[in-house]
Amino acid sequence: MTAKYDFHCHSTASDGSLSPAELIQRAAQQQITLIALTDHDTISGLVLAQQAALENNLTLINGIELSVTWHKHAIHIVGLNIQPNSDILMTGIAQLQHIRHQRVSKIAEKLEKNHIVGVYQAMAILGEKTLITRSHFARFLVSEGYVQNEQQAFDHYLGQGKCAYVATEWATLAEVMDWIHQAGGVAVLAHPLRYHFSATLMRRLLTEFKNLGGVGIEVVSGRYQIDDIRRCAEYAQKFNLAASVGSDFHTPANPWIELGRLAALPTELTPIWTYF
């Protein structure tokens, strides 16, 4: 039996539906031996996840998924094998969390203007135990019956250009790369095809990423088909980047994406775990 890895997933510390311990237990059930927890802009799930990893006999890589604004586009950089107690990383995360908190109020305000009731209060309660993302708003809209599923919530309210969309200036690419490096980690470009960039823009991004010390790119991601994997593998080779695999698992309620259920990496690529 080959080893199973997963270097991109979420817990209740951000927008996942399983607690860090439940997530690790599920990973163990899926026979994963090496996993990274990569919550959005927070490391608050890592301590409990490490404890659960010890109990479940698997290895947890400390990770994070950082929000970046690059030439007006929101992109995500995964930091793997970070030291969570790094002062510089913690200061950076605090900045992103501050931006998130401000955005929560702005999104709530827009939703209330669009006749959605009780958002502020719901988010205030949620915000006490988690870092709020648009997924939380989406779930609220589903649970209150305004839409039938999370996708509809993005399509009708939260997605770019929709009535409750708030354009956000996250950190710069150079900043997050520095935070990750100062924390001893490696930077990986998350789900490269999700940005729908043209080939030119992708080349520009990867050139900049590489120049800033970027190490890896997700070649195998949650729902990637064989053609997608091939495209990302070409980027990895062209820019001399290591290849990562990550499901971007958020919840067992989504049957399409399971922890560790990922295609094998193309054998010609350097796997990211050789950098841990």
11 binds, among Mn ion, ligand AMP, none (CB under 5 to 8 A by kind): none
Tokens of 40: 């959005």
Nearer to ligand AMP, 110 or 134 (CB): 134
With CB under 6 A as the contact rule, which of the stretches 20-28, 88-96, 150-158, 195-203 interacts with ligand AMP? 150-158
Q: Which residue has the tokens 């990274």?
A: 36
In terms of CB distance, is 51 or 97 closer to ligand AMP? 97
CB of residue 40 to Mn ion, shortest distance in Å: 6
* Cβ neighbours around 142 below 10 Å, total: 16
Q: Indicate whether 110 belongs to the interface with ligand AMP (CB under 6 A).
A: no
Closer to ligand AMP by CB, 59 or 257: give it: 257
Is the distance from CB of 134 to CB of 108 less than 8 angstroms? no
**Residue 39 touches Mn ion, criterion: CB under 5 A:** no
Least Å from the CB of residue 161 to ligand AMP: 12
State the binding string over 168-197 for ligand AMP (x if CB under 6 A, else -): ------------------------------
Of the candidate spans 79-87, 131-139, 174-182, 256-264, the one that interacts with ligand AMP by CB under 6 A turns out to be: 131-139
Q: What is the largest CA-CA distance in the chain?
A: 55
Cβ distance to Mn ion smaller for residue 6 or 178: 6
Compute how many other C-beta atoms are within 10 angstroms of the C-beta atom of residue 83. 12
Query: Which one among 8, 26, 110, 134 touches ligand AMP, defined by CB under 6 A?
Result: 134
Would you count residue 130 as binding ligand AMP (CB under 6 A)? Answer: no
Q: Does 67 bind ligand AMP (CB under 6 A)?
A: yes
**Which of the ranges 91-99, 146-154, 196-204, 229-237 carries the binding residues for ligand AMP, by CB under 6 A?**
146-154
Instruction: Write out the binding residues for ligand AMP, residues 22-41 only, by CB under 6 A.
Output: 40
Contact status: 221 vs ligand AMP (CB under 6 A): no
**The one among 39, 150, 218, 248 contacting Mn ion by CB under 5 A:** 248
CA distance 124 to 127: 5
Asked if residue 232 lies in contact with residue 187, where contact means CB atoms within 8 angstroms, the answer is: no
